Structure 1
Amino acid sequence: MDKDAIEQMRQKVAQMSPDELKSAVASILGGGLADLVDARHTPPLPTVPDAPAVPCALTVRTDIDETSPPVWRRLVLRGDLTLDRVHEVIQTAFGWADSHLHRFWPGPDKQLWRGPYFLTRYDVDEGEEGILEVDVRLDQVLRDPGDRLFYTYDFGDDWTHTMRLESVDPLADTAPPAVCTAGRRAGPLEDSGGPPGHNELVAAHRTDPSLAGLEDYLRDWVPAGWDPAEFDAEEVTRQLSVVGLAPEEVLASLAGDEGVDWPVSLEGLLGLAPPAVTTQLAQLCARARTEHEAELTAEDLTAITKPYRYLVELAGDDGIPLTGAGWMKPSHVEQIYRELEFDAEWIGKGNREDQTMPIAQLRAMCQQLGLLRKHKERLLQTRLARSLSSDDDYLTAIASRLLHDKHPYQRATLALFAMFTAATGKAVSDHVDPVAELLTACGLRTGPHGVDRRDVLENVRPLWCTLRSATGRTFRDRDDPLPGDHRAVALARAALWPHPPTTS
């Protein structure tokens, strides 16, 4: 039985009256377990007074129960927000991914799983009857200071939030839906095991921020640079400003004089990204466009395109002969190794392609970019390769195909890596972690905790090697800034926003 079915059964048991429970136990003992799972339970209906004639501004302190140290936000909310919008506000304020079920429970008493609650669309689809959260305003359930409303997110981890009304004030006509005025600590990590799991992680971080004492799989799962004490009320308010907007509306709201130049290769994420993530992506776009100078000289163009031109020209009219196993013959491998000076970054004789990674990667990239093709035990020039005559031609061809993939989410993965390269000025493997985090925040999964960084690394490795090669770095170099790093920035930008390269 899967986790959702067990959780559904647990909820139904908690909601049963003594007579219903007795009947269910008798049914189980008689072999009728399915009757319990299929039984429909109608919760007691919440009492919902009429909405005030004039909406007010409600100052609400929201705490995540049982977190230690406490995690909380003070929010000034429009009283006319419906609870489905309040759900979006809470998700954004604490950095949740909205990837699990949720539920609102009216106060003043805390009666989770046994008292009345407001229905979500999911509850209705499951056949339940009652009052929908979309039909209830916040000022109908929080009216006087001290009133409480409870919100549970993720029925497995059970993150319960207590919302307590602190004050009721006049509402300006232009007031935004939500503003964060105070708070403490970052929201818990998604799927971290509820408050007990979160508290253990926080305690481990307090003892050693490197989390060296954790098991490897758990340490690898925690996002790079995670700081549970991090909190910025202004940043939360900025993210709240786009709650409820469609991705296109978020981009429009962020557009300044120059607007947001959204790469085509990222369009696959537009329909998935929550507003806060769309904001992050838009800011990353702006940084990738403007953060670092990347004007290319003629020498830069030659340095970037030389390996590809060399292999294409080596193929000539007759192609490069291959062995029966499909590798380039040793004499050609040794020639490439020597002429392109791969001995600066690789140890070995450089006469076997399968044992000389830089050459194997260059050959694979030439085929992926459509410059060479394999035919009858030879590597031949393609029609595209025969049409290229200058470094400008080569750079345009390489850049225009660097992020190609038939799968939209794979294209987005490549595009994100290119954006971090352009935004930071370096093509380094460390970009894998924020790429995995953004993809996970968009609801994508390659493992139980979201998108695994190892999957991202495997997917972006050819792109990373190509960008790194453009800088003139070897794999022995550290990631300190080098004079050639602007080449990787220029190539990444040209791949994201195709245009003829600018040379000086």
Structure 2
Amino acid sequence: MTELVPGLQLHVELADSEPPIERTLVVPASIPLSDLHLCLQAAFGWENRHLYQFVVGDSFRGERTFSDVEAAFELEVEDASRFTLGELVAGNEERFVYEYDFGDQWDHLITVADNQPVPYAHLECSTGNNRGPVEDSGGIHGYMNLSAALQKTHGEDALAASEWYEAVTGQTAATFDPARVNLPGINANLELLSQLIWRRPVAPGVIKDVVRPVQWLLQRVGAEGMELTKDGYLKPAVVQEIMTELGWEDRWYGKFNRESQTLPVLDLREQVQEWKLLRKYKGKLVRTPLGRKLVDNDAALWDYLATSIARPGRDAAELVNAVVVPWLVGHEPPAREQRAEIVAEILNASGFRVDGRTVSATDGRILIRDTIRTLECLNVFRSVEVMESPDKLSDGGRQFLFDVQRKQHKREPQS
């Protein structure tokens, strides 16, 4: 029988929108405000690019403001992750404001419409009217002007709006429908968010399958180590054995008899070394002390690898992983042609440079591919084919990347 917990029904309307852009959300009262922020992002189609805050009138302490932990420190407000929705509205007016993007100032007016038991970990958008605004469109009035221009069939305004919309969203202007609300898509994203917030148990067999490539190589190296060629590569018979045993024949072409020419094997061996589980020593590939400790402990190996991907020890790689992993997990990631530009934009905004110049879309594409190649060293994708970029995760891969996300954000799963 499904466990029921206290829940709240929220009516959310974007201030000054006409016709109203609104949603009805049903969430557990115990949800932290930092996670309610993510629910609102999903419900309105925001991309979580900007700062946010909740503002509520408190009967005893006056107006209170909550934001994410870093912004809370800088803005001298309260940490949203330390308070639940139920705590926010207890004893207060049952209305409050969620403001997103302090430049465009998207004010979401929230009213507690009802309190009712809900299934444990249940997040739902039950109703909605009108699509959410386009990110960075200049606030509600800027968006209304954009919407009007996109619905024109000719004229300079229509052409400029169409070009901007297509550049920003990766979609053709013909797809724009201000009245359309994709409730199934919103709820699919809320279900993924629920799985992130409330961690489900992972079956031992799923854990073993995800970590198998790394564990198999550690076990194959053995306690005594594995002899390498004079150039420091795996021997041809081992290369072929890896491709066969791991079922990777469709990932590459050729005879699989030279590691330097068999990229999946080269990536796996180098990545396991980078994860400090193997090292080269006197012409052999040998386990490190950490490798010896984790080789037969599936759950500990899973946890260590999730941490290593979340915190790879290189700031740029950590930031790129933090961008790419949610795309892989998400229901509606950005269009493929946009991703490299988004990564480049985020890295440039964070002050990163490549040989003294700004990060280009080409650099962004390479960095995204590096993240994918790292993940291909595990069984997280349903299939990987030669020179193809996999997007579809296995069920175990999605659970693994949820754990990566939790570690990226130092998130403790809700009980």
TM-score norm. by structure 2 comes to 0.49
- Choose between structure 1 and 2: higher strand proportion: 2
Larger radius of gyration: 1
